[in-house]
């Protein structure tokens, strides 16, 4: 997890501290790259706290970290698990410029429960981020998302339910 251990959001399920973040550490991308090299990783997941205090949400820091990791580990598969960057096009493009193999952004929960579970994030904005990534790469990138189950979903499949994907799992 890059960009510090203080988050500008306060999702109810998350143990990360909500506080004013420290400044980004300019050498962090190189240090992460060195760690992945020493660990001989073939697949790495790079994630971060939400940095709404930064104009780009930390996207440039993601780009630099991906590029440093790839430079130190030829052939490594890079997956990013990013915040929503407030759906800013420039931020999404900055991350994509480093060509991660997998672009992951978690919806965390179903639409109805999002206001109670997530902080500042919206279901629609997260869908928009994923759709933009897919469109910008002409479909030639893996997009990925994660949802927690057991938070009170209604998987009945009716029009008022939370969607068939939850059926049978709750």
Query: Residue 55 — φ and ψ, nearest 5°?
Result: -60, -35
Least distance in Å: CB of 72 to ligand SF4? 26
Residue numbers 69-88 binding ligand SF4 by CB under 6 A: 83
Measured between alpha carbons, how far is 105 from 127 in angstroms, rounded to an integer? 9
Q: Is 57 a residue that touches ligand SF4 (CB under 6 A)?
A: no
Residue numbers 123-142 binding ligand SF4 by CB under 6 A: none
Measured between alpha carbons, how far is 24 from 154 in angstroms, rounded to an integer? 41
Query: Residue 7 — φ and ψ, nearest 5°?
Result: -110, 150
Binding window for ligand SF4 (CB under 6 A); candidates: 6-14, 28-36, 87-95, 150-158: 6-14
Exposed, middle or buried: residue 28 (CB in 10 Å: 0-12, 13-18, 19+)? middle
Q: Is 2 a residue that touches ligand SF4 (CB under 6 A)?
A: no
Q: Which C-beta is closer to ligand SF4: that of 145 or that of 154?
A: 145
Residues that bind ligand SF4 (CB under 6 A): 7, 9-11, 14, 16, 49-50, 83, 119
């Amino acid at each position: 997890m890059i960009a510090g251990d203080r988050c500008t959001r306060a999702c109810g399920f998350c143990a990360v501290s909500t506080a004013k973040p420290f400044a980004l550490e300019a050498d962090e991308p190189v240090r992460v790259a060195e760690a992945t090299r020493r660990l001989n990783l073939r697949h790495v997941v790079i994630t971060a706290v939400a940095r709404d205090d930064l104009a780009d949400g930390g996207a440039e820091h993601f780009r630099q970290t991906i590029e440093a990791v790839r430079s130190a580990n030829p052939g490594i598969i890079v997956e990013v698990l990013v915040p929503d960057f407030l759906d800013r096009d420039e931020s999404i493009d900055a991350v994509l410029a480093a060509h991660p193999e997998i672009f992951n952004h978690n919806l965390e929960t179903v639409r109805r429960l999002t206001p109670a579970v997530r902080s500042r994030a919206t279901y629609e904005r997260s869908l928009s981020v994923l759709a933009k990534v897919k469109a910008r790469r002409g479909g030639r990138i893996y997009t990925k998302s994660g949802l927690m189950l057991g938070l009170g979903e209604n998987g009945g499949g009716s029009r008022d339910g939370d969607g068939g994907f939850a059926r049978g799992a709750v």
